[in-house]
Amino acid sequence: MKKNMGAADRIIRVIIAAIVATLYFTDTITGTLGIILLVLAGIFVLTSFVSFCPLYAPFGISTCSIKGKK
């Protein structure tokens, strides 16, 4: 699995996941929408830790910086 996420992308995803989790656990968002957003937040955290987004792969998107290229 080749990394395709840069540092900025990973940080943004973790921040969004933290906001969604906070909103869910303070009962600001509830019900089915809350559960869907919480699952999406979990996926954001997981993809941030492994630095790979499966949705980027088919489109050839990479936010990871290329090292050693002039």
CA gyration radius for the chain? 14
Output the six-digit token pair for 49. 């830790």
Q: What is the pLDDT of residues 21-69, one digit of tens each?
A: 999 999 999 999 999 999 999 999 999 999 998 888 888 888 888 764 4
What is d(CA 46, CA 25) in angstroms, rounded to the nearest whole number? Answer: 19
Instruction: Name the residue with tokens 């303070």.
Output: 26
d(CA 21, CA 44): 11
pTM of the model: 0.83
Q: Are 24 and 34 in contact (CB under 8 A)?
A: yes
- Give the integer Cα–Cα distance in Å for 20 and 28: 10
